[in-house]
Amino acid sequence: MTAIAKKQMIEYILHDVIRRPRTEIDENTALVSSGLIDSLALVDILVKLEDLTNLRIPAGKVNAQNMDTIESMFSTAQRVGKPKN
């Protein structure tokens, strides 16, 4: 389940956020700290993360560092996320 969600996140970031040809990323690629994506784009990724995990991630509970890799954003979502009602 999570593995599929992570794959979907990779697809989303490549096609909707980075939108540059010839870019490859995996679960452990540094995204923000490597300059691949700008922190302004994290808002979209956070919304996607909520959709894929079916969790609500409260404001202020997650920072850019938590979102630097797909692996860490999913573990952050599990840690701070609340079930959607």
Partner 1 sequence: MESKFQFPFRTLPEALFAAPADKCFATMWKCEDDVESVTFGEFTRLALRQAEYLRSQDVKLGDTVIILMPQDIPLMAAFVGAMILGAVPAILAYPNFKIEPTKYSFGLSGVSDNLKARLIVVDQRFPEELLKHIRVEGSARIVRYGENDSPVTIPDIDRSVEPSRLAFIQHSAGTTGLQKGVALSHAAVLAHIANLAEEIHLCPEDRIYSWLPLYHDMGLIACFILPLVCHVPVVMQAPTDWVMQPATMLELIQTYKCSLAWVPNFTLQHLARKVRPEDRPSFDLSSLRALINCSEPVRASSMDEFLAAFQNCQLNTNALQSCYAMAETVFAVTHSDIVGAGPRRIWIDGNAFRNQKCAIPVPSDTPGAICTVSSGRCLPDTQIRIVSPEGMELTPGCVGEIVIRSATMLDGYYNRPDLTAATLRDGWYWSGDLGFVLDGELYVVGRKKDLIIVAGANIHPQDVEEIVSAHPSIYDGRVVAFGQYNANIGTEEIVVIAEVRDEGDLQKTNRIERELRTAITSELGIGIGTIYLKPLRWIVKSSAGKPARSTTREKLLSEQPELQFRGKIS
Residues that bind partner 1 (CB under 8 A): 20, 22-24, 30, 32-40, 42-44, 46-47, 58-65, 67-68
Residue closer to partner 1 (CB basis): 5 or 45? 45
The rounded distance, in Å, linking the Cα atoms of 19 and 11 is: 10
Choice between 1 and 28, CB closer to partner 1 = 28
Distances (CA, A) of 45 to 7, 27: 14, 14
Nearest-Å Rg of the Cα atoms of the chain is 12
Strand residues in 1-85 grouped as ranges (E): 55-56, 82-83
Min separation Cβ 65 and partner 1, Å: 4
Both tokens of 29, joined, read 């690629």
Shortest gap between Cβ of 19 and partner 1 (angstroms)? Answer: 10
Shortest separation between residue 41's beta carbon and partner 1, angstroms: 8
Secondary structure class of 35 (helix, strand, coil): coil
Q: Which is nearer to partner 1, 4 or 31 (CB)?
A: 31
